[in-house]
Amino acid sequence: MIIERAYAHIPAAAEGDEEFRRDRWPWSVPAVAGLLRDGLRFTAPVTFLVGENGSGKSTLVEAIAEGFGLDPHGGRAGYRYVSDRPRSPLGERIRFDTTAAGGRMLGGPRTGRRGFFLRAETAMDALGREFLPVESMSHGEGFLLAFRERFSHPVGLYVLDEPESALSFTACLHLVGLMHELGRSGAQVICATHSPLLTATPDAAILEVGERGVHETAWEDLAIVDHWRRYLADPRAYLRHIIEP
């Protein structure tokens, strides 16, 4: 593992600043408030953040990526910032408690860091910057190429934001195998997802993000797992509330 704990450092003098008002984004998000209060601990090489849209899981993974020195637009560690996208207020303040390997990466030159940030909405552009032949590929094919080509270093930080959005069922299974192998080889994976398939990755930690902040849970206790089971068993039980007869 590279990171053992992420937290946000807010100087006491800054707490009265207009930017830091607790009723303003991102500080008003319960998950961010939990990060400020308790930090975010990682207990396994592969960690999933799961929650509804707007829960703050993407905000957290983006800040972690930025704090590690990854381009917030998406891309590999050590790559220069090429987008006009500014660092987020939380990304500016994120700090880490690291393992020895992580400390060496963060304490050394930017080019010595290993990792990749994959944003679902900018993945193809980031891959294009990496000179990979993605022009003639579908989104799913491009994603899998990134996974195979860029997630290959035995030690590094790999941050994924909803990678399942472009992947088929079979491709998601390939991603499960790759993430599990990365974890076993010494890398660290942090992934925001809605997928019950991905979150079933063996030995992964699952952090549920919501109105209560962030708390660790088990796969079988996830709301998304329960909903998918119920829906696949009887779609009409859900659709009768959505579609007029």
**Which residue reads 């209060």 in tokens?**
37
Please tell me the distance from the alpha carbon of residue 16 to that of residue 20, in angstroms, as a whole number: 7
State the DSSP H helix or E strand holding residue 215, giving kind and residue range, or none if neither.
strand 213-217
Q: Give me the amino acid identity at 27.
A: W
Task: Give pLDDT tens digits for 57-98.
Answer: 999 999 999 889 887 777 776 655 545 666 788 988 899 999
pLDDT in the model for residue 115 = 84
Provide the token pair at 16.
């009265």
Provide the angle, in degrees to the nearest 10, between the axes of the packed helices 139-150 and 169-185: 10
Task: Give pLDDT tens digits for 214-223.
Answer: 999 999 999 9
Please tell me the distance from the alpha carbon of residue 62 to that of residue 94, in angstroms, as a whole number: 10
β-pair type (188-193, 157-161): parallel
Task: Give pLDDT tens digits for 40-50.
Answer: 999 999 999 99
In sequence order, which residues have a C-beta less than 8 Å from that of residue 83 and are 6 or more positions away? 71, 72, 73
pLDDT in the model for residue 118 = 84
Residues of the chain with confidence (pLDDT) below 70: 12-18, 77-86, 110-111, 121-137, 139, 142, 146, 150-154
Please tell me the distance from the alpha carbon of residue 225 to that of residue 230, in angstroms, as a whole number: 9
Give the pTM: 0.89
Please tell me the distance from the alpha carbon of residue 123 to that of residue 118, in angstroms, as a whole number: 6
Q: Give me the amino acid identity at 54.
A: G
pLDDT in the model for residue 235 = 94
Please tell me the distance from the alpha carbon of residue 124 to that of residue 122, in angstroms, as a whole number: 6
Q: 10 Å Cβ neighbour count for 176?
A: 19
pLDDT in the model for residue 98 = 94
pLDDT in the model for residue 229 = 96
Provide the token pair at 83.
């987008």
CATH code of 3-217, in short, is 3.40.50
β-pair type (115-119, 157-161): parallel
pLDDT in the model for residue 132 = 59
pLDDT in the model for residue 145 = 73
- The DSSP call for residue 206 is E
